[in-house]
Amino acid sequence: MNALDLGVIAITHVNDHDEESISPAKHGESFAARKKRVRQELIAAGMTPYGLSKFNTRYLTSIIKEGEHIHGVVYGRHVEGPGFLSWVDRMIVATDHRIISFNHKPGYTDDDEITYDVVNGVDSSNAWPFTAVTLDTRIGKVTLRFVRNRCAAIFIEYVERRRVEFFKTRTHRDLQQKEGF
């Protein structure tokens, strides 16, 4: 068994003056590097050690794409039907490219990708020590309860900022097209 069989990138090219290594940063990010980066971004978005240990969090590394960065995350309980037993864990992640809403269990995954152009807004309701966050889109609303306050604040600020940026650039571009620029 050689290094290529193990999927290890260890290619080195030697010139007369220098050595150049092909690194995952230049030619694709390794899964281990992505896992470490995702963990750091989740901590920066306010996630606690408890949140990092959740099953949804471990699955997140496999759905975050190379070059996609997490700027906000909320995780809590979502009601999928009547009664207390219909509450399930759900996570909503705001990245620089999209919003991902998902619930992952062994043998079952329910995930939705939402672009910023269909987001109408984000609403929150605070009842110490937790917050309820509602993501309102043209498709429908998703409400998470028992969300950590710090995560909610970071998530709401980022989604609202991205939403405003999107509509500013869209409106500006539409005006330029109408005026013939």
Peptide linkage before 82 cis (omega within 30 of 0)? no
> Looking at the 3D structure of the chain, how many domains does it have?
1
The pLDDT of residue 51 is 93
CA triple 67-69-70, angle to 5 deg: 160
Name which residue leads in pLDDT, 63 or 20.
63
Does position 27 have pLDDT exceeding 60, yes or no? no
Residue 161 counted as domain residue: yes
pTM, whole model, 2 decimals? 0.77
Give the residue numbers spanning the domain of 135: 29-179
CATH assignment at residue 128: 2.30.29.30
For 58-114, the pLDDT digits (tens) are 999 999 998 899 999 999 999 887 877 788 899 999 999 999 999 998 888 888 999
d(CA 146, CA 132): 6
Question: Residue 79 falls within a domain, yes or no?
Answer: yes
Q: Which residue has the higher pLDDT, 100 or 24?
A: 100
pLDDT in tens, 136-181: 999 899 999 999 999 999 999 999 999 888 878 776 555 555 555 4
In a domain, 1, yes or no: no
19: in domain: no
Q: In what order do the strands lie in the sheet with 99-105?
A: 108-114, 99-105, 87-95, 70-79, 141-148, 130-137, 119-127
- Are the beta carbons of 96 and 68 closer than 8 angstroms? yes
SS (H, E, C) the chain: CCCCCCCCCCCEEECCCCEEECCCCCCCCCHHHHHHHHHHHHHHCCCCHHHHCCHHHHHHHHHCCCCCCEEEEEEEEEECCCCHHHEEEEEEEEECCCEEEEEEECCEEEEEEECHHHEEEEEEEEECCEEEEEEEECCCEEEEEEEEHHHHHHHHHHHHHHHHHHHHHHHHHHHHHHHCC
The token pair that represents 93 in the structure block: 């992640």
The dihedral built from the CA positions of residue 163, 164, 165 and 167, taken in this order, carries a sign that is: positive
* 3 lies in some domain: no
**pLDDT score of 122 more than 90:** yes
Q: Is 130 among the domain residues? A: yes
